[in-house]
Structure 1
Amino acid sequence: MTGIKRRTVIAGLGVLAAAPFAPAIAQKRYDDGASDSEIKIGNIMPYSGNASAYGNIGRTHEAVAKMVNEAGGINGRKINFITYDDGYSPPKAVEMVRKLVEEDKVLLVFNPLGTPSNTAIQRYLNTRKVPQLFVATGASKWGNPRQFPWTIGWQPDYVTEGAIYAKHILATKPDAKIGVLMQNDDYGKDYFNGFKQGLGTANERKIVQLSTYEVTDPTVDSQMIQLKNSGADVFFNITTPKFAAQAIRKAAEIAWKPVHYLNNVSSSFGTVFGPAGIPASQDIVTALYRKDINDPQWRGAADVTAFLAFMAKYMPNANLKDDVHNYGYCCSHTLLQTLRQAGDNLTRENVMKEAANLKNFEAPLLLPGIKINTSPTDFYPIQAVRLARVKGESFELFGEVLSNESV
């Protein structure tokens, strides 16, 4: 799919999740990518390469597009969604984003995926004053409105999540010997830095082995053997889905059974636990902020029912155990709320203003007690999680809702 433009004209995103919005009468204002009839939204995703499992996020955005195309529009406007493959390659990300801005003339770039890719495009988009909206990465750098006022995060940041795991380890296994597997890039380092902050300087010595891998590596088998041989009895697994599945499977093969913590970005039954083997995945601990739609406790919840109906109609062949569909659906509705609030003032400046003015927004599929809030000085929309462990083919939640103030 590399280099191939994919377009979907859609209307009325988010109709299932929100009542019709009637903007106040005001003078209409537009920048590139907006008009009386259309809003152009740009996106990049790794539809190919070692991170291609995340491509289903973009496909879900497109499926949402098809759904809302039948619903009538956001404030009467259709959305023209344009997505390109960047292969999880920063140079390709820059190329594709420049194409979106300079040739396609999109109003904004929505949910571009990956810390390396977003890092590569951040300065360009901020220089051009194009919103880099709700990026698909939890790196802490996306919440810096003073330096990068056109970039805003979405999911819980990696530093906070890493710190939460560290605090839990200290509370439940104070004599832990910790092994860490880390993707060797900004994404991995952000998680690891948060983890070390959570441990505190005095406890960093509990880390007996740090093993890294490159996203271009074929496997992490040798790193897993190294980690087992270190004597570690706690494992913090900072990996993207392909490598997360490999690590879980290899741990089972070599009979290494540490207390296993896995970063949220790989907490998928469809792309990680299933391929790794459900038996090998039992009791892995992760942090969740969205509902597992396969968990019986959410059966009958209105947002889950709506999501399942959406999937059945618009993505009937998709794997419901692949959590990235859930992610894409939830994030799309955050964009929709922002556009509804923007009304007829569809300038890039006003879109950013509204993205930074979300108040207790309950996007579909968020866990109870977790809401989206932003302000001109707070560019971290979601700052709360709950810990959960793999039990059978779903998650068992435990503990209270934990926020950035908790760590």
Structure 2
Amino acid sequence: MKAVFSLTVTAACLTATLANAGPQYGPGVSDTEIKLGQTMAYSGNASAVGIPTAGGTQALLRKVNESGGINGRRITLISLDDGLSPPKTVEQTRRLVESDEVLAIAGSLGSAPNAAIQKYLNLKKVPQIFIMSGSSRFLQPKEFPWTMPFTLSAERVGEAYGRYIREARPNAKVAIVYQNDEYGREGRSGIRKGLGPEVDKFVVAERAYEVNDPTVDSQIVSLKASSADVLFHVSISKFAAQGLRKVHELGWQPLQFIDVPAASIAVTFKPVGLDRTVGVMSGTYFKDLQDPTWQNDPAVKEYLATLKTYAPDIDPYDPNAAFGYSVGEAIVAVLRQCGDDLTRENLMRQATNLKKVPLSLLLPGITLNTTGQDYAPIKQIRLMRFNGTGWDAVGELMDLP
């Protein structure tokens, strides 16, 4: 750890000296700068997610810096390309920690890349905060006290969906199509958990797909043959759109759920056809920027203006950009809460002690809240149903266990 002052004191004046001590600085921090690190998919198949996500975060930080930064300190986010490849993530993260000497790793993308650096960062006692992944592996504060996520875990979201069906349609026949990776398997597990002890009575068919599969058409055809009347898509936008399109082509009419990562009018529904997706359900904790409900929302207007000014090449209606912007706001909130104690230890202490912190694009009533025992910043979700132009709320906000 760096120190910007040294003390030579006698025992008699130790207490008074410590009381008047100046700012406490960790690596990457000075009177004028706070240096953070991040890995992001700027290349490869995931670049369509990584580029707008990083653009949203950087736009927010540029705006904050132009307004004076954090107590006069400029935030420098060194964001390096890993192509969503874990070996590259390890290489780039070591560079950020050991060569660039960043204060923390903040807002890195992906389950497998973050898992690859989790032990290393915890051994080094480097904060790994606001991970962009729905994996529950990043919610183990006893084993990994320097790691915390940003998003709701796929398992918690799936459990909310399953619980809704168990209560609203006790005689449902459920089919699940899911991505065959950590994200998809956890979402599937959550749905099954939410359906309760009689899960095998509900679930009549399940099919997995690989992220490099060209389509999910064969899986949807197979699931239709099960005569299910509820279909869960535990899928990212590309495959959710394919699945919704195939269901329509087959003339199948189950109640369909798409997962939070795919709950976008712009990215998922428009390619399928808005009229073909009426009645599809999902859950969210964010405002959908294409929903007319938020057309005159001041926070949304500010977000759109910020992206236009500081990231003009990024589509502000891409939900990944909005997500990255929100991560940027969360980073800023923690840094402000740190005050002049900008050490790694205090950064982690403040990140795990958030109380009702608002973010511009979270739904009304949802704020960030963390404790030393529960690192999950977001603990609520709202179920919703697409009406052809926007989302209608279904029930009240749901608290997630």
Q: Can you list the C-alpha shifts for 1:165-191, whole angstroms capped at 9, x where unaligned?
A: 111112222222211111111111211
Whole-angstrom CA distance in 2 between matches of 1:307 and 1:232: 41
Whole-angstrom CA distance in 1 between matches of 2:395 and 2:20: 47
Q: Can you list the C-alpha shifts for 1:308-338, whole angstroms capped at 9, x where unaligned?
A: 2213323445434322222122221111010
Number of aligned residue pairs: 382
What residue number does 1:391 align with? Answer: 387
Q: Can you list the C-alpha shifts for 1:6-44, whole angstroms capped at 9, x where unaligned?
A: xxxxxxxxxxxxxxxxxx975222222211121111112
User: Which structure has the larger Rg?
Assistant: 2
Q: Can you list the C-alpha shifts for 1:269-311, whole angstroms capped at 9, x where unaligned?
A: 2322222332332221111111223333334333222112213
Match of 1:104 among 88, 97, 100: 100
Whole-angstrom CA distance in 1 between matches of 2:135 and 2:49: 16
Match of 2:194 among 193, 198, 214: 198
The change in CA–CA distance for 1:52 and 1:397 in structure 2 (over 3 A counts) is: farther
Match of 2:300 among 299, 304, 310: 304
Identity of aligned residues (%): 42
What residue number does 2:228 align with? Answer: 232
Q: Which moved more, 1:172-181 or 1:313-322?
A: 313-322
Once the 2 structures are TM-superposed, how far is the Cα of residue 399 of structure 1 from its aligned partner? Answer: 0.7
1:245 aligned onto 2:245: no
Q: Can you list the C-alpha shifts for 1:20-72, whole angstroms capped at 9, x where unaligned?
A: xxxx9752222222111211111122233333332211111122233223211
Whole-angstrom CA distance in 1 between matches of 2:42 and 2:333: 26
Match of 2:37 among 33, 42, 49: 42
The change in CA–CA distance for 1:235 and 1:47 in structure 2 (over 3 A counts) is: farther
Contact 1:387 1:399 in 2 (8 A): yes
Q: Which runs of 5+ in 1 are unaligned?
A: 1-23
Q: Which moved more, 1:318-327 or 1:204-213?
A: 318-327
Whole-angstrom CA distance in 2 between matches of 1:208 and 1:180: 9
Once the 2 structures are TM-superposed, how far is the Cα of residue 215 of structure 1 from its aligned partner? Answer: 1.7
Contact 1:338 1:354 in 2 (8 A): yes
1:139 aligned onto 2:135: yes
Q: What amino acid is the match of 2:25? A: Y
The change in CA–CA distance for 1:38 and 1:180 in structure 2 (over 3 A counts) is: same
Contact 1:270 1:320 in 2 (8 A): no
Once the 2 structures are TM-superposed, how far is the Cα of residue 133 of structure 1 from its aligned partner? Answer: 0.4
The change in CA–CA distance for 1:88 and 1:391 in structure 2 (over 3 A counts) is: farther
What residue number does 1:32 align with? Answer: 27
Correspondence list, 1:1-400, <5 A: 26-55=21-50, 56-400=52-396
TM-score if structure 1 supplies the norm length? 0.88
Whole-angstrom CA distance in 2 between matches of 1:33 and 1:275: 44
Contact 1:50 1:242 in 2 (8 A): no
What residue number does 1:8 align with? Answer: none
Q: Can you list the C-alpha shifts for 1:184-215, whole angstroms capped at 9, x where unaligned?
A: 11111211111111112322332122111222
Contact 1:109 1:133 in 2 (8 A): yes
Contact 2:230 2:254 in 1 (8 A): yes
The change in CA–CA distance for 1:231 and 1:48 in structure 2 (over 3 A counts) is: farther
Provide the aligned C-alpha RMSD in A: 1.9
Whole-angstrom CA distance in 1 between matches of 2:225 and 2:83: 34
The change in CA–CA distance for 1:365 and 1:392 in structure 2 (over 3 A counts) is: same
Once the 2 structures are TM-superposed, how far is the Cα of residue 238 of structure 1 from its aligned partner? Answer: 0.7
Contact 1:270 1:319 in 2 (8 A): no
Whole-angstrom CA distance in 2 between matches of 1:404 and 1:206: 22
Once the 2 structures are TM-superposed, how far is the Cα of residue 135 of structure 1 from its aligned partner? Answer: 0.9
Displaced runs of 4 or more, over 6 A = none
Contact 2:34 2:103 in 1 (8 A): yes
Contact 1:268 1:321 in 2 (8 A): no
Whole-angstrom CA distance in 2 between matches of 1:208 and 1:342: 51
The change in CA–CA distance for 1:93 and 1:247 in structure 2 (over 3 A counts) is: farther
What secondary structure is seen at the aligned counterpart in 2 of 1:222?
helix
Q: Which runs of 5+ in 2 are unaligned?
A: 1-18
TM-score if structure 2 supplies the norm length? 0.90
